[in-house]
Structure 1
Amino acid sequence: MSVSRILLGLLEPSSQHGYVLRRRYDEWFGTSRPLKSAQVYATLNRLDRDGLISLAGVAAGVGPDRRVYAISEAGVVELDRWLDEPDVPEVTASRKVLFAKVLIALSSGRPAEPMLDRQRQAHLARMRELRVQRQSGDLLGQLDADFEMYHLDADLRWIDGAAARLNRLAALVNAAPDPAAAVPGTHGARQENR
């Protein structure tokens, strides 16, 4: 998630200081990982340096004075570009790890089905948590829960599809030539090191 572009979007309706931006970000996007103050101010400094925001004034507060920022014309152009540009769908690292675990388990002679079953149970447990969150949450919380639940549902379909193909996949993985066999003096090293 682009914190800098989100902060630009939060600044567009009105000038604000970092504390308000951080609170709004955490309220809308930071349920699982709130922003640290240092990250907000470092990001605001970069946006200012890049000409996407500017200092609009200083507001007196209970503690130190607070710098108030406003989005610049260049910032609005950048925000428009970011909003108009579709995100490239990508598989997250955790999903790639699951794929890798299946292949590694099968290539090493371990059963992959119990691992897939455990992963399925973990996904279902998380979906139960999200259902509770969705029922008791506000509209933003419900939308956030839906987003994660739909992705978990896709993962579950993949897990079921992989489980249905484990025998064929094991045959394919184990039919691959052993790279150690091509190196003199290393034939069979894979079996010896197990």
Structure 2
Amino acid sequence: MATAELVLGLLSAGPAHGYDVKRGHDSWFPDGRPLAFGQVYTTLGRLERDGLVEVVEKTSGGGPDRTVYALTDKGRQHLADWLVDPVPPAWGSADEVLRKLVAAVRTGGDAAAFLARQRASHLRRIRELQETPAGQDPTSPMVRDYIVAHLDADLRWLDGALDRIALDSTALDRTAEQENS
């Protein structure tokens, strides 16, 4: 995920504390994984180092220091460039599912049981998303639709992988029977 660029996008509305950046991210992606505070501050530090954001205010009123960050002109240009650059097709989150499946097959694990559990997990998540209303802002339904479409595509792949494992298992059983005859 392009966390740095999302932080720049969040700061495009105006200067903000790290806490506000985290809250903004989580409201933009209510169905996704919340952004960790540590990741926010690490990202802001990198962006400051690279000249994409600057500290515009620092206060310490009895609690922890509160630093307010703002975009620089270089940061605005970086954000604009990022927004027009298409994203190359990638493996995405399926990468770990595929790695676990390959490891299960190659190590003699129960690949079919793994795929069945993964399928159930995907179905549960789709149900959760369908049972709770999307946020009222115009992007929430788009984010929700994107997540559900990807989960649905993963389900189709999981079903195909289960079919392939069943076919391969049947072929292996026949080969073993022929060798023993």
Q: Same fold (TM over 0.5)?
A: yes
Equivalent of 2:134 in 137, 146, 166:
137
SS of equivalent to 2:143: helix
How far apart, in 1, do the equivalents of 2:47 and 2:23 lie? 18
What corresponds to 2:44 in structure 1? 44
Partner AA of 2:99 in structure 1? V
Deviation of 1:152 after TM superposition, in Å, equals: 1.4
How far apart, in 1, do the equivalents of 2:114 and 2:60 lie? 57
What corresponds to 1:122 in structure 2? 121
How far apart, in 2, do the equivalents of 1:26 and 1:161 lie? 34
How many residues are treated as equivalent by the alignment? 169
Give the 5 Å matches for 1:10-25.
10-25=10-25
Partner AA of 1:50 in structure 2? D
What corresponds to 1:75 in structure 2? 75
Partner AA of 2:144 in structure 1? A
The runs of 5 or more residues in structure 2 that have no matched partner are: 176-181
How far apart, in 1, do the equivalents of 2:113 and 2:63 lie? 56
Deviation of 1:31 after TM superposition, in Å, equals: 4.9
Residue-by-residue CA offset, 1:30-74 (whole Å, 9 max, x unaligned):
654333333322221221111111122346767455322211111
- Structure 1 residues 164 and 70: alpha-carbon distance in aligned structure 2, compared to 1, 3 A threshold: same
* Contact 2:16/2:70 (8 A) holds in 1: yes
* Contact 2:31/2:144 (8 A) holds in 1: no
Deviation of 1:16 after TM superposition, in Å, equals: 1.7
What corresponds to 1:165 in structure 2? 164
Give the 5 Å matches for 1:52-131.
52-58=52-58, 63-64=63-64, 66-91=66-91, 92=93, 93-97=95-99, 99-100=101-102, 103-104=105-106, 108=108, 112-131=111-130
The runs of 5 or more residues in structure 1 that have no matched partner are: 176-194
Larger Cα-atom Rg: 1
Aligned-residue sequence identity (percent) comes to 39
* Contact 2:60/2:66 (8 A) holds in 1: yes
* Larger relative contact order (CA 8 Å, sep ≥ 6): 2
SS of equivalent to 2:99: helix
Partner AA of 2:89 in structure 1? P
TM-score by length of 1: 0.69
The RMSD of aligned alpha carbons is: 3.2
Residue-by-residue CA offset, 1:92-136 (whole Å, 9 max, x unaligned):
32331354157437xx4x775554444333322222112112xx2
Deviation of 1:24 after TM superposition, in Å, equals: 1.0
Partner AA of 1:70 in structure 2? A
Deviation of 1:2 after TM superposition, in Å, equals: 2.0
More displaced stretch, 35-44 vs 69-78:
35-44
How far apart, in 1, do the equivalents of 2:53 and 2:115 lie? 48
